[in-house]
Each structure stands twice: as C-alpha cells, then as structure tokens.
Chain A
Amino acid sequence: QVLLEQSGAEVKKPGASVRVSCKASGYTFNTYGISWARQAPGQGLEWLGWAIPYSGTSDIAQRFQARVTLTTDTSTNTAYMELRNLRSDDTAVYFCARSTTNCLGCWFDPWGQGTLVTVSS
C-alpha cells in the first residue's frame, strides 16, 4: 500500500521558518517525484512545486521561489518542504503527493494527510 505520512501541525510566528516532512512507504521512492500543494482555510488548492528524488532537483512555482525549498532524503524515503519568512497568509494545510518524475501535471496520487501550519503572533 502506497502511503505518504506527513509531520504534525505547527504554530509559527511571522518571520519564522517551518519545515514539513513527508515520509513515503509502499513503493520505490527514487522512481517517483513528490509534489507539494497548500490549501488556506476554506480556500482552494495552490501548487508549490515538486522534487525529484533520484536527481535531487526541484522546480518551485514562481511566486514561492524566494521562500520555498524542496528537498528529498533517499536514505529515509522522506521529502521536505521548507517555507521561510512566514506571513499570516501562509496559514494553510500543506499537502505532499506522489507524482511522476518526468510529467508535471500527469497525476498526483496518493496524497499525504496534510499538515496544518498556523502563522500567528
């Protein structure tokens, strides 16, 4: 069974950084990508970027390029999303999802359970 298990909820102050983890199991981690998206309370989904474990590369959505870093650790089958200089409008549930390695937009399946990041002073 393919499973993505994310780290727990976080509460951060404005200006701080947060790192969310996404541990994969049930498949060969190196043969798929990991994408990240977020969902603000009561809002729709927004794509952040994706990371390719076997190459160590990532592609970040333009509006997040200055603040987001995506990394993967093939020794622990874990992907990480770091968001810096947090603002109140970064409050959202952050999701990871398995994707292909060579076709962004082909599919995301499955998704992690989500991690709530709350930014508040």
Chain B
Amino acid sequence: QSALTQPASVSGSPGQPITISCTGTSSDVGSYNLVSWYQQHPGKAPRLMIHEVNMRPSGISYRFSGSKSGNTASLTISGLQAEDEADYYCTSFAGSRGLVFGGGTKLTVL
C-alpha cells in the first residue's frame, strides 16, 4: 500500500481539463512544499512534470500545473491531448521516512 493516495484512473476527452489528486498526511504532503509529479508512458522511464508543488521544468508544456491544499496535492492538465495518456505518480518528502510515492493514476484520453 502506497503512502500517498491517488485515484487509480481518470479520463477525459481531448481539449478538456483533468485533475489528479494526491492525498497524504501532515507528516508528508501537509508539512513540506516538496511534492513532485512524474509522467510515465508504458515501458519508459518516468519524466519530471512538476516539482516543488507548482514549478514546471524547462520543456514541460504550460498545460501542466500543480497545486496543494492541506494534505492534498493536485496535478491539472488543461487542454488534454492524446499524448498525455500515461501513468502519473506523485511524490513527497516525508521527513525521516525519506521520499514517498503515490500509487499512480492511469490517465486515459477518450
């Protein structure tokens, strides 16, 4: 069982926005602004999409954004595109426990 809770799956139509949640506790997500999001296509390595809650690395589309409220972080993808279909994982620093991952969310573009 993963430390952070994500929905197993979300779906949306091209052009629509979707949001993936990542719920932790006051010992991880709630205490640190160190939440990252990774995209993983089948058989590939993860790719950094968002770091430190809402920072977008160079080369990542503006359609990807992150936020946090309390113990829950969120990844929003606006204007869904076919190539966004992938698995998404959140992570958070968790103090003495180190780094914890969410269980992953499969995004399907309808």
Contacts and interface: CB of A to CB of B under 8 A. Distances in A.
Interface of A: 35, 37, 44-47, 49, 59, 61-62, 95, 97, 103-114
Contacts of B100: 47
Given A44-B89, A46-B101, A105-B92, 9 more contacts: A61-B97, A104-B34, A105-B35, A105-B36, A105-B93, A107-B36, A108-B36, A111-B45, A113-B45
Contacts of A109: 47-48, 51, 57
B93 to A, nearest CB: 3
Contacts of A37: 101
Interface of B: 2, 32, 34-36, 38, 45-48, 51-52, 57, 89, 91-94, 97-104
Contacts of B103: 44
Contacts, number: 71
A104 B93 contact: yes
7 nearest CB pairs, A to B: A105-B93, A105-B34, A107-B51, A111-B45, A109-B48, A47-B99, A44-B104
A114 B41 CA distance: 13
A106 B52 contact: yes
B47 A62 contact: no
A112 B44 CA distance: 10
Contacts of A114: 45
21 contacts: A37-B101, A44-B2, A44-B89, A44-B101, A61-B99, A103-B34, A104-B93, A104-B99, A105-B32, A105-B99, A106-B36, A106-B52, A107-B36, A108-B91, A109-B48, A109-B51, A109-B57, A110-B45, A110-B48, A112-B45, A113-B45
